[in-house]
Amino acid sequence: MILRKGNIFLLQTKKSSYFMQVLPTGHIEHMHYGASIITANQYEEFLKNGGAESELLSDMAKVLAIKHKNEGGNMVVYSEESYPLCLEVMPLEMSGFGKGDIREPMVELTFDNGASTCDFLFESAEISDELTALKTLPCSYTDEEKAEQLVITLKDSSYDIRLKMIYKVFPECDTITRSAILINNGKDTVKVDRLLSNQIDFQSMGYQLTSFHGRWADEMGKTTSVCNGGKVVNEELAAGESGSRSNPFTMVSMPDTTETAGECYGFNLVYSGNHYSSLSTNGTFLSRFVSGIQPTGFQWALGPGEEFEAPEAVMTYSGDGFGGMSRMMHDFVRKHIVRGYWRDRERPILINNWEATYFNFNQSSLLRIAKEAAKAGVELFVLDDGWFGARNDDHAGLGDWVVNTKKLPDGLKGLAEKINEMGLKFGLWVEPEMVNKDSDLFRAHPEWAVRIPGRSHSVGRTQMILDMSRTDVQDYIIDALSKVFSSANISYIKWDMNRIFSDRYSLELPAERMKEFQHRYYIGLYRVMRTLTEKFPQILFEGCSAGGNRFDLGILCFFPQIWASDDTDAVCRMDIQRGYSYGYPVNTQGAHVSAVPNHQTLHTVPLETRFSVAAFGCFGYELNLGELADTQKKQVADQVEFYKKWRKVFQFGDFYRLDKYRFMVVAKDKSAAVALIFQKESRPNNDYLALKTMGLDEGSIYEVANRQVAVNVKEFGSLINTMAPIHVKQNGVIHNIIARHYKMSGEKDEAVATGAMLNGCGLRLNPDYGGTGYGEDTRMFRTGDARLYVFARVTE
């Protein structure tokens, strides 16, 4: 809800408040963002007293407004009339350079006379139930849940240029978004050197910024820095993508915030290009968080009558620690970012041929993989890279979206039909934004590749980027892909993007506009994505960028899920998926079971672990199932059956990080839950562990059971001789015969307990193997082992 009294505004979600007022000068003072400052009773009173006529908001503003009565030493006073107002000490909704606020600005402009001072002052405000959609960029929306919007328009005190600040309030998921639109009503072109999306002035120091960093196949490592002076930055400077080096999602919290308690703010951007966020203090008592398009390398010439839109910024506040914030962010992403046919639908279990075959496949080998997958109950077959043009390795073919009939003699149509006959849906990989020098497309249109005339071009994965800022390139891609998508019964598309930017340039842009290129690329890309997803609404799209190099809310506005990492090793994936979980829900993260030794790390972990970790994502397999032993094929079929049974809980439940290596999902109605425990490093001696849950309904009774994992005696190696009457040679004939005929069922943990017990005390688990004995109920829990536990409510 949005309350207004004159020029005082309160944006209210279920558990948070955002409070601001217009100062007599026209600047907007930010008075509070955080825990709710109005109770239900006060709100009732407010309404009884005539709403906007009530004095409540003015009384609250008197409490929270800065009592600024003295000119600050060595500070700039804004104006004679407003003496002693120094903008430097004011918490503000937006700042520009030049009038005394010397902190990190949200806006930087250069006017035609070369001056770069701007001074935006309040002009008008409007509250409505209708949410504004941005014209050039994707943004949040609502359909079922009520949301409201406040638009505050500011005008520069000297120039005819306006800044519209749009605030959307999503009460149910405690989320508020902001976007900014600059409108040039003047006669001269204004250079926009930066237009960030968000500025939050916190009224104390000592906050910490948590951001997520990494590299290819090693995304989302969590880093936290306290800011007590100076500046902490999270940015993707020049990759040209939201990036595996620095994801745009960040958190601001206090050093004593924990997973379950304390103040935590989550921030993100609905944007896929270079981004910038910072938390700074300037030596006063204030801290400032800003975020938006990366200003380095950016400039936009805003002509008379033109508008420039900054991407939407998302923020959520929770007083219940990192976990509470994450669950709010997940709800927001699932309901107000992801959209369309697949938003609320369970995602299919897929088999992808990439790690099974790489480029080396033909129709028969694909059909063999599909057949095994169909037998196991898998629902979708995905044909990855290599099906088109002269694409036999990664040196050629990108851009030529025509099926290679040498490999696939029946074309995509014939292959899809055969796959469909097996009971599987058919999906396909594309990488539309790219071109190889060795391709028909490049030979026909060398001017479409991003490169600088007269300068040698630096490539990545031997490919070049198509200039998506050009309408002819966008139209070509829309047309070429529409033909592919209509050429067969295609249910799923994996949209890849495998290199970062270099040599940024567009032949269509004049020199003075070249710094617009990177942002124009995304405006063009979003147009293509919007057109294709609207044209093929039932196709399930999965984003990908060499794994998680473009995992962001911009992509999720079009594609409901994104391949989280090219690292399919379950041990690494625990860390990577935990990193994503801070800002992104489980059902946005693609996760697959792959072969061992793992292709990225050479780790070997059990099939059960690979399954358990991948189940906390959009689940699939990426290996040649036909090459598994019969017992493993049975295990796969069992996993598929299990996942289907609990899929809704995995994909749409509330997610909890129980600790670093334990996850849990709880159905929204609390009727069921699944927990994962993972052994990062086993140690001897018995650890009598408890599984302490979160999120179960305290008053309900649950039946708990683990997924039993059969143990092969060979896993004990030569220890078999401590029990065998004769000496058994490790891996010898007798050892193999025993292993074939004697199966150990694995420990069973079963219980009936109240949610209160399970959340409060936890379930005491059977002991893990610790070097001093082994019984039926001992859990083999070696480094890299994992267990899943299911909770089914029996009474409410």
- Residues catalogued as catalytic: 496, 566
Rg of the chain, C-alpha, whole Å: 29
Tokens of 514: 């070249």
Nearer to ligand DGJ, 379 or 384 (CB): 384
- Selection from 706, 791, 708, 789 nearest residue 753 by Cα: 791
Cis peptide before 684 (omega within 30 of 0): no
Nearer to ligand DGJ, 174 or 496 (CB): 496
Strand partners, 292: 196, 276
Nearer to ligand DGJ, 335 or 499 (CB): 499
Calpha distance 107→180 (Å, rounded)? 10
Calpha distance 52→251 (Å, rounded)? 34
Q: Measured in Å, how far apart are the chain's first and last C-alpha atoms?
A: 33
Calpha distance 32→91 (Å, rounded)? 9
Q: Please, what is the minimum distance in Å from the beta carbon of residue 395 to ligand DGJ?
A: 12
Nearer to ligand DGJ, 547 or 583 (CB): 547
Q: Please, what is the minimum distance in Å from the beta carbon of residue 436 to ligand DGJ?
A: 12
Query: Is residue 686 a contact partner of residue 772, using CB atoms and an 8 Å limit?
Result: yes
Q: Please, what is the minimum distance in Å from the beta carbon of residue 544 to ligand DGJ?
A: 5
| Unique residue bearing structure tokens 């290199």 | 499
Q: For residue 436, give Cα distances in angstroms to 239, 352, 396, 522, 720.
A: 19, 24, 5, 21, 57
Q: Please, what is the minimum distance in Å from the beta carbon of residue 617 to ligand DGJ?
A: 14
Q: Please, what is the minimum distance in Å from the beta carbon of residue 358 to ligand DGJ?
A: 8
- Selection from 765, 762, 761, 768 nearest residue 784 by Cα: 768
Q: Please, what is the minimum distance in Å from the beta carbon of residue 423 to ligand DGJ?
A: 24
The helix (run of H) or strand (run of E) holding residue 633 is: helix 630-652
Q: Please, what is the minimum distance in Å from the beta carbon of residue 394 to ligand DGJ?
A: 6
| Unique residue bearing structure tokens 């998680």 | 548
Query: Is residue 505 a contact partner of residue 474, using CB atoms and an 8 Å limit?
Result: no
- Selection from 267, 85, 109, 288 nearest residue 184 by Cα: 109
Percentages (nearest 5) of helix, strand, coil residues in the chain: 25, 30, 45
Q: How many residues in the chain?
A: 796
Calpha distance 219→573 (Å, rounded)? 9
Nearer to ligand DGJ, 496 or 516 (CB): 496
Calpha distance 550→541 (Å, rounded)? 14
Nearer to ligand DGJ, 227 or 546 (CB): 546
Calpha distance 238→235 (Å, rounded)? 9
- Selection from 175, 204, 166 nearest residue 288 by Cα: 204
- The binding site for ligand DGJ (CB under 6 A) comprises 354, 384-385, 429, 496, 498, 544, 546-547, 563, 566
**Helices vs. strands in the chain: H and E counts, helices first:** 15, 40
Query: Is residue 234 a contact partner of residue 227, using CB atoms and an 8 Å limit?
Result: no
Nearer to ligand DGJ, 105 or 397 (CB): 397
Nearer to ligand DGJ, 332 or 619 (CB): 619
Count the Cβ atoms, other than its own, within 10 Å of residue 43: 16
Parallel, antiparallel, or unpaired: how do β-strands 672-678 and 786-795 relate?
Answer: antiparallel
* CA angle (407, 410, 413) in 5-degree steps: 115
Q: Please, what is the minimum distance in Å from the beta carbon of residue 536 to ligand DGJ?
A: 20
Q: Please, what is the minimum distance in Å from the beta carbon of residue 591 to ligand DGJ?
A: 12
Nearer to ligand DGJ, 397 or 755 (CB): 397
Query: Is residue 777 a contact partner of residue 747, using CB atoms and an 8 Å limit?
Result: yes
In 708-749, where do the E strands start and end?
A: 711-712, 743-744
Q: Please, what is the minimum distance in Å from the beta carbon of residue 553 to ligand DGJ?
A: 20
Residue with the shortest CB distance to ligand DGJ: 385
Q: Please, what is the minimum distance in Å from the beta carbon of residue 58 to ligand DGJ?
A: 56
Q: For residue 749, give Cα distances in angstroms to 177, 746, 778, 795.
A: 45, 10, 10, 20
Nearer to ligand DGJ, 515 or 550 (CB): 550
Calpha distance 711→606 (Å, rounded)? 11
Phi then psi for residue 265, to 5 deg, are -110, 135
Tokens of 263: 């103040």
Q: Please, what is the minimum distance in Å from the beta carbon of residue 616 to ligand DGJ?
A: 19
Query: Is residue 15 a contact partner of residue 29, using CB atoms and an 8 Å limit?
Result: no
Tokens of 217: 């196949």
Nearer to ligand DGJ, 597 or 732 (CB): 597
Calpha distance 673→578 (Å, rounded)? 18
Nearer to ligand DGJ, 156 or 384 (CB): 384
Single-letter amino acid, residue 548: G
